Copies of this chain bind each other. A is one copy, B any other.
Amino acid sequence: MAETADDSIAAMATRSDAVGGGRPARVPAGAAASAEVVSTGLSDRQIVEAARQIVAESGVDGLTMRRLSARLGVTLGATYRHVPTKHALLLLVAEDLYDQIAVADRGTWSERVKQMMLDVAEVVRRHPGMASFMNVNARQSVPVKLNRVLVAILQDAGFNREGIDAVMAALFFYVTGMCASGFDPGASRRSAAARRAAVADLQDLFERGLDILLAGAEVTLEQSRPQARSGARRERSRT
């Protein structure tokens, strides 16, 4: 593993064909290309959606190939005919979650980025265990469409390639890390006092960390501009 030279989050968006098989080309080679052919038995969309539901209810650990098969009304072996492995299935679920993120198009670049990262946090938070999976498997599960939008926003803001890579990596790992670690101000059915304190605190903590990150990104952006300010000495040490 880790054989490619460029492992940055931004660069990963260009390698979307690593899932193994892929959703297009699901139609058998000899089938008629005109009508719908998927009506026979299980469709991949059904499997992914059922898996996502189970994860939302019981977390990634609660997602079992047997339980999934039972919900689909088929046998274990039938599920394995459509999904090669649980890992590949979770990659599809992750992609499904990322696709739910709306594109933010109001405000400054940092406001837009922040809004989208908050959306990611909210979606991911509702699927316990997915944040950790996405984090660990970032190489394979990086969101293609979402990443393209973020890269475009950062490019428009004036970031160079190095800056984009660093900002995206920092954002991605902060958000997934925070969500993986039980950050959950949404499922707040506790006592009134606890809700007021915990939920607000955690949401504040999360947003404050995001603000710190984006503020740091803004600093590096200003430093990389041609007309650098006074205190923008660079310390390129340790080669």
B-binding residues in A (CB < 8 A): 1-8, 132, 135-139, 162, 165-167, 169-170, 172-174, 176-178, 180-184, 190, 193-194, 197-198, 201-202, 204-205, 208-209, 211-220
How many copies of this chain? 2
Kindly list 14 other residue pairs between chains A and B, CB separation below 8 angstroms, not including A7-B182, A211-B216.
Answer: A1-B182, A5-B194, A5-B201, A7-B183, A132-B132, A135-B135, A135-B180, A136-B181, A138-B182, A162-B204, A166-B208, A170-B209, A173-B178, A213-B216
A204 to B166 alpha-carbon distance, docked (Å)? 9
List, in ascending order, chain B residues with CB within 8 A of A219's CB.
Answer: 212, 215-216, 218-219
User: A209–B197 Cα gap in the complex (Å)?
Assistant: 31
Q: Chain B residues with Cβ under 8 A from A137's Cβ?
A: 181
- Which residues of chain B come closer than 8 Å to A174, judged between CB atoms? 170, 173-174, 177
* 8 Å CB contact of A169 from B136, B176, B205: B205
B139 touches A5 (CB 8 A): no
In the complex, are the beta carbons of A208 and B162 less than 8 A apart?
A: yes
Cβ-defined contact, A209 with B2, below 8 A:
no
